[in-house]
Structure 1
Amino acid sequence: MSIPDEFDAVACSLEADTKQKYTALLTDFEKSLESYWKFETVDGMFKQSDDSTDEYKFDYLKEDFGRLLSWEETFAKLDELNSNAPANECYKVFFLARHGQGYHNLANSTYGNKEWYRKWSELNGDGKIVWGPDPELTELGVSQARDNAHVWAEQVKKGVKLPTVWFSSPFRRSADTLINTWESFVDISTIKPLIMEDFRETIGVHTCDKRSPRSVIAAKYEHLGFVIEDGFEEEDVYWKPDYRETIEEHGIRTNRAFQHIFNNCEDEVVSITSHSGAIRAQLLVLNHRPFSIGTGGMIPVVVKGTKYEKGE
């Protein structure tokens, strides 16, 4: 894992009116559903939710993932919240992981943000390395995922509970990060991580954010135990070379993914492996402060979901 840098800062930033625009879209989205969950963060559990925590100096690997309580106290609090919650409330811990360094991250840092966004992000490579579509992890990216595995092992000794359900973006850099992080703890073929389109990176323009065909993803990951969600198209029908998804649009599809988790998973401890832009959208949906995550990084969040019926 790396401490966030200037490139990560851009990836996690929000415009002044982003929340307002997201709220407007969310109102229409919720009207389309017969029932829906509203999400918020439970503060006081992890340092990352505290505005006083400096995201550019904070290293969760060295600070017990940022927990403010012992793990025993953390999960006792979670159990207490769920035990005392009314029927329409539910609490979960989300471990939101960013993939390790990919070749597009290497290119971004090589050419700088200005040139990356002006030219290189719309190309597949520079004649030396290839970063689009659907780039692989670099050697550093693999080692960052394995660093996470070592720290998880340390936290297990201190009482952390492992996730019991796993989700992944459909990109190789996310699925490979999941494997290298978790294969020493669990049997991937048994936990059956679910690949979901809605957990992919911001869609459009950047070639690194165009996914592989379904058949390619299936050939690489299904025999390992990964499950691809129903309705997953063969070709990437969402990516367009001339339109990049807005943050608030990204937030709506992220909200849709969280609706799926709260509607279909009784699990209290959830692992989601995705991307910097995806985590930006996830924190927006959870009304958590923006928090920059370096490649291979992770942020835990205690999430409160409240269910409403249409018209409430």
Structure 2
Amino acid sequence: MVAFALSLLSGLALHSSVVSAKLPGGIGPASTGHKGVSTPCETSKTKLPTSTTAAASPLPSGHHENSTTYFNYSTLNGIFLQDLNSTNQTGFDYTAQNFGLLNTTYPIPPPPIRNPTQWQLLNHYLTHLNRASPRAVTYKLLFLARHGQGVHNGAETFYTTPNWNCYYAQADGNSTATWFDAALLPSGTTQAFRARNYWARLLAEESITPPSSFYVSPLTRCLQTAEDEWRNLTLPRGYEFRPLVKEKLREGISIHSCDRRHPRRDIAAAFPRVRFEKGFSEEDPLWSGVEAETSKAQDLRSAELLDDVFGSDEAQVISFTSHSGEIASLLRVVGHRVWGLATGEVLPVVVRAERGRGAREVGSASWTSSQWCTNGAPVTSISGGACVCQNGVSPTAVSPGLVFTTRPVM
């Protein structure tokens, strides 16, 4: 426990004071260093508080909007290695594979430039598809970025997954670390810098077309990752990093405190560069600490997110900074093969969207009550994630906000 406390204390050291305010607990954007150059993370000896216990927010269980515009999605395969079932994702390094872009020819004349790169050929092809397709059809290249390594990732590794899921994840943190709306560890900052440096290289050497729209989850680890990856990157004229916070781009909602977001006012103070989508609420409308989102409910949320983006944004290249579970959901919605992302990794996907008629059929997408061991770390957990508690105590579905004071400071 001492070793973990020390590692998290160093890992949670405050990042560079490049913004005017911090989230509660001293959380703010990680330092960005110099343009295009990775720099070591600065550290501080300041401790984060052990808890910011809050009452559970009301949860609109199974609530999904009836979108006035919806699309049917598919992927344009054969563009990237990650599209191919024959590609092994174990050990796959996107920075060693040109983001996975295949060397190929396209069924149209090349652009009128000398020795175009593969990225210029792809952008030219996507532009052609969007011009030649019916008005109801559009193509977009999505760069799906997972956040860097966070405090909660380190805590789960230390406590082990059964202990984490059945007990520790329901707390806001321990005596040295806070994982409520978890921030990045220094290793996570390094991962974001690695992505930034790779983008800088491809912009300079391969003339890659960068995103012209940036969307980000409202959770701190994603906001920090997006800032570190894009803020000090020199983009071509006409491109600007102005991220838009999207509620539906967040991680699958569980009872874990790392999935609860800060209030809007705190996000705005700590990340003054971001914009908020219309209707973004002050308090977290989704997390309750009692019920968890099912995969079906999350996929409906992801489809609604894509409907919103494809229905309102004309950008051809778009960046999403999100989470492993949410990216997996997006891939299910667009019909891409399963592709797991390690922290800090990026996956490009070409998506074809065809506008449907009427409203999306949402059907039933209920949430489920999540049970955990309120009397301490479990004996174990079994297949499906069910908890086996100590002393024969039955797992209970109860808000951590109501019982937090009965649990020890870890």
Residue 208 of structure 2: aligned partner? 160
Select 2:269's aligned residue among 205, 215, 219: 219
What number of residue pairs does the alignment pair up? Answer: 280
What secondary structure does 1:309 align onto? coil
Unaligned runs of 5+ in 1: 1-27
> Could you say what the CA RMSD is over the residues aligned between the two structures, in angstroms?
2.0
Task: Give the residue type in structure 2 aligned to 1:235.
Answer: E
**CA distance in 2: counterparts of 1:311 and 1:262, whole angstroms:** 15
User: Is this contact kept in 2: 1:102–1:136, CA < 8 A?
Assistant: yes
User: Is this contact kept in 1: 2:215–2:321, CA < 8 A?
Assistant: yes
Select 2:188's aligned residue among 129, 138, 141: 141
Cα deviation for residue 29 of structure 1 reads 7.2
**CA distance in 2: counterparts of 1:230 and 1:72, whole angstroms:** 34
**CA distance in 1: counterparts of 2:202 and 2:216, whole angstroms:** 22
Q: For the structure 1 residues 190 and 160, does the alpha-carbon distance in structure 2 shift closer, same or farther, using more than 3 Å as the test?
A: closer
Please list, as runs of the form range in 1=range in 2, the aligned pairs for 1:105-124 lying within 5 A after superposition: 105-124=153-172
Select 2:90's aligned residue among 29, 51, 56: 56
Task: Give the residue type in structure 2 aligned to 1:226.
Answer: V
Moved more, 108-117 or 164-173: 108-117
What secondary structure does 1:252 align onto? helix
User: Is this contact kept in 2: 1:97–1:297, CA < 8 A?
Assistant: yes
**CA distance in 2: counterparts of 1:186 and 1:39, whole angstroms:** 32
**CA distance in 1: counterparts of 2:359 and 2:152, whole angstroms:** 44
TM-score, normalising length from structure 1? 0.85
Q: Does 1:201 align with 2:251?
A: yes
Residue 102 of structure 2: aligned partner? 68
Cα deviation for residue 153 of structure 1 reads 1.3
Q: For the structure 1 residues 227 and 307, does the alpha-carbon distance in structure 2 shift closer, same or farther, using more than 3 Å as the test?
A: same
User: Is this contact kept in 1: 2:141–2:316, CA < 8 A?
Assistant: yes
Cα deviation for residue 190 of structure 1 reads 4.8
User: Is this contact kept in 1: 2:212–2:240, CA < 8 A?
Assistant: no
Cα deviation for residue 311 of structure 1 reads 8.0
Q: For the structure 1 residues 124 and 50, does the alpha-carbon distance in structure 2 shift closer, same or farther, using more than 3 Å as the test?
A: same
Q: Does 1:77 align with 2:119?
A: no
TM-score, normalising length from structure 2? 0.65
Q: Does 1:248 align with 2:296?
A: yes
- CA deviations on 1:71-107 (whole Å, 9 max, x unpaired) are 1222122122212211110000000001101100111
**CA distance in 2: counterparts of 1:42 and 1:146, whole angstroms:** 29
Residue 228 of structure 1: aligned partner? 276
Residue 138 of structure 2: aligned partner? 90
User: Is this contact kept in 2: 1:142–1:177, CA < 8 A?
Assistant: yes
What secondary structure does 1:263 align onto? helix
Task: Give the residue type in structure 2 aligned to 1:51.
Answer: N
**CA distance in 1: counterparts of 2:284 and 2:69, whole angstroms:** 29
- CA deviations on 1:218-272 (whole Å, 9 max, x unpaired) are 1112x3x210112122111210112111112111111111111111111100001
Select 1:101's aligned residue among 141, 149, 156: 149
Please list, as runs of the form range in 1=range in 2, the aligned pairs for 1:250-289 lying within 5 A after superposition: 250-289=298-337
Unaligned runs of 5+ in 2: 1-62, 104-117, 361-410
User: Is this contact kept in 2: 1:56–1:292, CA < 8 A?
Assistant: no
Task: Give the residue type in structure 1 aligned to 2:263.
Answer: P
**CA distance in 2: counterparts of 1:29 and 1:115, whole angstroms:** 32
**CA distance in 1: counterparts of 2:292 and 2:234, whole angstroms:** 36
What secondary structure does 2:198 align onto? helix
Q: Answer with 1 or 2: which has the greater Rg.
A: 2
Cα deviation for residue 192 of structure 1 reads 2.1
Select 1:293's aligned residue among 316, 341, 345: 341
